Structure 1
Amino acid sequence: MAQQFDIGQQAEQLAADWLISKGYELIVANYRHKHAEIDLIMKHKGLLIFVEVKFRSGTGYGYAEEFVDYRKRQLIIRAADHYIHAKDWMKDIRFDIVGVYKDKKGVFRFKQFEDAFY
């Protein structure tokens, strides 16, 4: 279990760095509200973006976006609502999923699914 946590943390950091390289600004990592956690909260082009990061060592069992089920989306949305109200955010928001994939050569690749849900 500890190894999975380490891989998840590494994937979140890699995703944050990748998004920052694309012009995003990291606001908060691992934001928690009750039973929910948002991996990354970013700003980009006037939007507040809530990002769920999923690591996959391959696609044999499915793609990253397939692992964000209804229950997980609802938890993220509740935590986002809490954050928005706490910060009095009055502009647009978006929910993204970033898949972090490690290929057979050990190279990390990223796939971003903008506006993945609401």
Structure 2
Amino acid sequence: MAEHNIFGKEGEEAAVGYLEKQGYIIRHRNWRRGHLELDIVAFKDDELIVAEVKTRRNTDFALPEAAVDKRKIRRTVSAADAYIRYFQLDTPVRFDIITVVGEKGNFCIEHIREAFFPPMW
């Protein structure tokens, strides 16, 4: 596995640990359906949370959340729709972004709740 992939997995691990400490129940990690993927799917307070995780070593060039552009939002919403249909869920959905910046063991985590809403196609 390439170094950047390993680093991304470390960031995801940190994000999952953070969410669990906050009382979230992790349903799935890296859930895939065809070419669609969801980083983290969790549940808390009768709400399904779809979290996109962005891991960076620093913010010298851009904030991690800036990588979640319109195209990524559309793909995440499509993947969430597939997830909801696949598991036949009937619950409110919230889309969050979790940024993980730094190095393993010394990550700074920011949880952006309701980071985006499904676009009106």
TM-score bucket (shorter structure)? over 0.9
Which structure features the higher share of strand residues? 2
Trace 1:23-42 onto structure 2 (pairs within 5 A). 23-42=23-42
Instruction: Please tell me whether the aligned partners of residues 35 and 75 of structure 1 are also in contact (alpha carbons under 8 angstroms).
Output: no
Runs of 4+ displaced beyond 3 Å: none
- 5+ residue gaps, structure 1, are none
What is the TM-score with the length of structure 1 in the denominator?
0.92
What's 1:111 paired with? 110
C-alpha separation between the residues in 2 aligned to 1:56 and 1:33?
26
Which amino acid in structure 2 is aligned with residue 21 of structure 1? K
Offset of residue 34 of structure 1: 2.2
Per the alignment, residue 87 of structure 1 pairs with: 87
The CA distance in 2 between the partners of 1:34 and 1:75, in whole Å, is 12
> What do you get for the CA RMSD once the two structures are aligned?
1.3
For 1:59, the aligned partner's letter is T
State how far apart, in whole Å, the 1-side matches of 2:114 and 2:19 are: 15
CA distance, structure 1, for counterparts of residue 59 and residue 37 of structure 2 = 24
How far apart are the structure 1 equivalents of 2:18 and 2:79? 23
Give the secondary-structure state (helix, strand or coil) at the position aligned to 2:116.
coil
Alignment of 1:1-118 (within 5 A): 2-102=2-102, 107-118=106-117
% identity of equivalent residues: 34
- Please, which runs of 5 or more residues in structure 2 have no aligned partner? none
